[in-house]
Amino acid sequence: MKEEHDVPLASRTTLGLGGPARRLVRCETEAEIVSAVAGADEAGVPLFVLGGGSNVVVADEGFPGLVVEIASAGVEPRASGDRVEVEVAAGEDWDGFVARAVAEGWSGIECLAGIPGRVGATPIQNVGAYGQDVAQTLAYVRVFDRRRGAVVTLDARTCGFSYRNSRFKGDRICPVVLSVGFVLDARGRSRPLAYEELCRTLGASAGDDRPLDEVRRTVIALRRRKGMVLDRTDPDSVSAGSFFTNPILDIETFRAFEARARALVGSDAPVPRYLEDDRVKVPAAWLVERAGFLRGHTRGAFRVSTKHALALVHSGGGTTRELLAFEAEIRAAVGAVFGVTLEREPVLVGESYG
């Protein structure tokens, strides 16, 4: 476990932004992760755990403490009837794991193909796409509990999963994920499809299934068309993915929003929404564009992606302060037009953010 000093972090993030880490260690084993994290906590050193860098925005000043880069590896499957239990090290590439699951005929995460980052990050924000999220297949998370100074196993029920959220997100002394256990179906076909766009592209109906490799290829193609697959040849992929989560409104708030929306787009125009039990989910991309920030809208070194209004793209030479000013402009416009507050999806990293 080699420690480096003043290590640039911009090159370790998909946005290509941010200053250096004062100290950085790359940990390739669970023991190294525990040792590095425990040592930092004992010394009172600020700590940030870095995975694939796909969902973070690093301050221009960088990070003043220790960055622990997770690079552990290992996938351990155990067959159990018509299911397979798989424990995956936190440092494994997420899409690489999805690709292996599809190749092995394990279903339950095929719609999460093409998402950048490491396996250990997926429980933090309950990663999801195209009708699936990790909470649907996650059985447990093995973590280093920093408060207790011990390795513990947390079952899915204790993780507090909700839409793009968990008990871990926002915890200032967040447990560090060491490995994640999944329970997948060993049936060789997808779980029943639910997401309208995916069903339409596959020529399927909700509830149908399809061969796993067909679903994975289709999901990646859809994500690529939106600039949501890391690709050196695609300038729109220089982003943190979706910068805003889709607002979920209670019925009363939704009705007030809908009245504003119809006044803007016309009484006969559709206002997209998705039912979430007794609440309503509204597409953030629709809000952003109707608030005046169309695809390609540019502010200095940043722009709204030409492929998807939820991604804020870095064209090069910009600063984190400029990005956050652009974000604030979009949030203010959406709030003024629709009375809805957009929530940021990426995590802010650095002393500036507390």
Which contiguous run of DSSP H or E holds residue 185? Answer: strand 176-185
Active-site annotation holder among 83, 142, 146, 164: 164
What are 141's strand-pairing partners?
A: 154, 180
Question: Which residues fall within 8 angstroms of residue 192, CB to CB, at 6 or more apart?
Answer: 206, 207, 208, 209
Q: Examine the residue annotation and report whether 42 is marked as an active-site residue of this protein.
A: no
**Cβ-contact 41, 2 below 8 angstroms:** no
Which residues are CB-neighbours of 247 under 8 A, at least 6 positions away?
281, 282, 284, 287, 340, 341, 342, 343
Say whether 345 is catalytic: yes
Residue 256 vs residues 146, 253, 261, 315: alpha-carbon distances, Å: 43, 5, 9, 37
Using CA atoms, how far residue 160 sits from 123, 214, 277, 291, in Å, is: 10, 32, 17, 33
Helix (H) or strand (E) holding 256: helix 251-265
Active-site residue, selected from the candidate residues 242, 290, 303, 305: 242
Dihedral sign, CA of 171, 184, 110, 278? negative
Question: Among 104, 299, 345, 352, which one carries the catalytic annotation?
Answer: 345
Q: Is the dihedral of CA 227, 232, 235, 237 positive or negative?
A: positive
The three-class DSSP label of residue 260 is helix
- List the catalytic residues: 164, 242, 345
